[in-house]
Amino acid sequence: MNNKFLFFILLLSMPLMVCAVDVAEDPKEREILEISKKLRCTVCQNQPISESRSKLAGDMRDVVAEQLARGKSEQQILQYFVERYGDYVLIKPPSSGNGLLVWAFPPLLLITALIFAVTVMRRRATSTPANKSAVELSEEDRERIQRARKEDKE
């Protein structure tokens, strides 16, 4: 009975295989997507306009499509958005000019934090109680300590 069921399923799926058509991808859509991956949505949190569902991102994708229809190159389209929004609109800002600050800030912050940590650790190491003068015990305290040690031994 299982063989009949499998044969029936296979028989039903045959027309689907025959009707399957290769989907032709539109090169313009691919180009719009590639450019959209390089542009940041200015109202979203670090999300490219290709993934954003905001109205502004949709408008930006429309502008990309219009610019491509006019025959503009990818660099010209990216420059168009940089002129309006600044380097922030690029997912990967240039490593020169204002973009240099974006690339240089994290390493500088790390170096500063390491220097601060080393300084704090050195200060703590030099001010430990072992380096301070020992507190003198009174005779009464010494006797109490010796009695406690004798009791521990017994």
| Tens-place pLDDT, residues 11-52 | 777 776 666 566 667 788 889 899 999 999 888 878 999 998
pTM for this entry = 0.52
Q: Exposure string (b/e) for 3-14, b if CB count within 10 Å is 16 or more?
A: eeeeeeeeeeee
Check if CATH label 3.20.20.20 holds for domain 26-89: no
| Tens-place pLDDT, residues 73-99 | 999 999 999 999 888 888 887 766 666
**Cα 116 to chain centroid, rounded:** 25
Q: What's the pLDDT score for residue 79?
A: 93
**Under 8 Å between Cβ of 31 and 78:** no
The percentage of the chain sitting over the pLDDT mark of 90, rounded to a whole number, equals: 32
Q: Which of 33-37, 58-62, 149-153 has the lowest mean pLDDT?
A: 149-153
Q: How far apart are CA 84 and CA 94, in angstroms?
A: 16
Q: What's the pLDDT score for residue 105?
A: 84
Q: How far apart are CA 141 and CA 148, in angstroms?
A: 11
The amino acid sitting at 27 is P
The answer on pLDDT for 130 being more than 60 is: no
